[in-house]
Homo-oligomer: A and B are copies of this chain.
Amino acid sequence: MTTPVTLTGEYFIAGERRGCGEVFHAYDPSAGASIKDIGFFTSGDADIDDACAAADAAAVAYADLPLETRAAFLDAIAAHIEALGDALIDRAVRETGLPAARITGERGRTCGQLRLFASEVRDGQWLKLRIDHADPARTPPKPDLRLRMVPLGPVAVFGASNFPLAFSTAGGDTASALAAGCPVVVKGHPAHPGTSELVAGAIVRAAADTGVPAGVFSLLSGTDNAIGAALVADPRIQAVGFTGSRSGGEALMKIAAARPRPIPVYAEMSAINPVILLPAALAARGKALAAGFVGSLTQGSGQFCTNPGLVLAIESAALEAFLAEAGQIVENQPPQTMLTAGIHAAFEKGSAALAATAEVQTIARGVHPTGPHEGRAALFSVSAADWIAHAELQHEVFGAASVVVRCADRDELVTVVAALEGQLTATLQMDEADFDDARAVLPVLERRVGRILANGWPTGVEVGHAINHGGPYPATSDGRSTSVGTLAIDRFVRPVTYQDLPPALLPQLLREGAQAGMVSRIDGEWTF
């Protein structure tokens, strides 16, 4: 097929390109300059209204398509994204300052994720098909009850600056919402509008190819937060997916809660992902831990939701050696371009605030930047008592900055863990001699985090069935679900029970015997 890769600067409303009037430009953070080759049009109130109306109008038809069509749509999106070839990679690199290898990997992850959700749609367990047969002889007579999950309706998805593909236009939120049967209206992140336009075109072509109603997808564009605010306030939107800052997520939560009819917001917001270095591991392999830690800290200029911004350890000579080693590696870290001017400025401000805190020692900073918007890795340390006394030390500094908290003993370590806010991840570095310490920490940790790692680093997030990318507030707005992996589909569905409905009117999959091959529950018994 011939794939159009020339940008027009337009956004998409129900499959149609649109745009006129005011434009904004993408920005190349590596060059420190706007990308003037194309202006991107700003979506207006009428566009938001049209996108929501189209999504609402398409909701029933899309929900009623055979699951195979929905799965084919997701597969086709992946194929159309791949067909964009290097044009997509080049544009995303230019708009984010991220290396081509990283963007190429992220494209693979994005397409793999779409295909995983396609296979999940076919799997059907998420439909939670349940049948309780009637018993007319009972007093009172027992009715016939049949339950399935149905889509919530149109979902608003916000593109994330730090993952222009995997958490943006056709990222995890879009893939899981479409898999659940929900139309999606994306508000593209203004830091990568060209990337968004290219991917949106792929989605629109996939819909046309597979006979999916065009209203199932729209892309809104612009730099003003008011666009997203209006989208979340629209009565036709039934749920929100967001990955970004805590302030951004909390603003959307407030709008959603203040609606005449409140809706769920799935915001992945803020985490410092503690790494706990237990004593035996620290003594046995402190040098390797230092290298592994700094590698995780500085990957992608530290711009991961799961970046290890906090290290907890018990005072010891081994800890001093770790700090010296990690400090030396940090000092040799070359600066890396950050995603946007704003993110870079916030990182510098946050790092400076840490450095200026009297109780905080600066262990090391990376090599001084020479280019625009380059982030300079930063490592700090503080005593456990001071960390606990200064709640602001727990705030995320988005980028390659981390604070090592020195604990006097295991009890103080547990006290620090108990003081943690909700986190996406926590990591234990431990050897067998540390297992008793680990047993003291784990129950406290488990109540505060979504994923617990042993002897690894948190910055990789595997896409699969057993992954949770979520966690208690403020890691996310809603710790009851994940935004990565197949369980994410559960966020966008709700149950409906059909009582004594004549077979001719029952949804196909709830008719007698139609559940074969799907995990379902018949009269309380699980069957395939």
Contact = CB atoms under 8 A, between A and B. Distances in A.
A484 to B, nearest CB: 10
Contacts of A479: 152, 494
A167 to B, nearest CB: 18
Given A456-B500, A460-B140, A494 B480 contact: yes
Interface stretch (A339-347, A396-404, A439-447): A439-447
Contacts of A495: 450, 468, 470, 480-482, 487
A155 to B, nearest CB: 13
Contacts of A432: 502
Given A253-B257, A453-B500, A479-B494, A150 B446 contact: yes
Given A435-B505, A454-B505, A130 B480 contact: no
A68 interface: no
Report the interface size class on chain A.
35 or more
A36 interface: no
A502 B435 contact: yes
A24 interface: no
Contact of A143 (B442, B456, B468): B456
Interface stretch (A14-22, A93-101, A189-197, A520-528): A520-528
B493 A480 contact: yes
A464 interface: yes
Nearest to A505: B438
Contacts of A453: 143, 499-501
Contacts of A470: 494-495
Residue from A59, A153, A480, A495 having most chain B Cβ neighbours under 10 A: A495
Contacts of A130: 465-466, 487
A35 interface: no
Contact of A146 (B153, B466, B502): B466
A466 B464 CA distance: 28
Given A470-B494, A487-B128, A497-B468, A447 B140 contact: no
A197 to B, nearest CB: 31
A263 to B, nearest CB: 8
A452 B497 contact: yes
B146 A496 contact: no
Contact of A264 (B421, B480, B523): B480
Interface in A332-369: none
Interface in A88-142: 125, 128, 130-132, 140, 142
A298 interface: no
A505 B446 contact: no
A150 B444 CA distance: 13
Given A443-B60, A465-B524, A467-B147, A452 B498 contact: yes
A447 B64 CA distance: 12
A477 interface: yes
A280 B257 CA distance: 43
Nearest to A256: B257
Contacts of A465: 130, 132, 147, 521, 523-524
A478 interface: yes
Residue from A59, A422, A468 having most chain B Cβ neighbours under 10 A: A468
Interface string A495-517: 11111111011000000000000
Given A132-B465, A147-B468, A474-B261, A496 B443 contact: no
A455 interface: yes
A462 interface: yes
A143 B464 CA distance: 11
A473 B261 contact: yes
Given A447-B60, A500-B456, A526 B494 contact: no
Residue from A64, A449, A480 having most chain B Cβ neighbours under 10 A: A480
**What are the nearest 8 A-B pairs in CB distance?**
A130-B466, A145-B466, A468-B497, A468-B495, A453-B499, A132-B466, A147-B466, A451-B497
Interface of A: 59-60, 64, 125, 128, 130-132, 140, 142-143, 145-147, 150, 152-153, 253-254, 257, 261-264, 421-422, 430, 432, 435, 438-439, 442-444, 446-447, 449-456, 460, 462, 464-468, 470, 472-474, 477-482, 487, 493-502, 504-505, 519, 521, 523-524, 526, 528
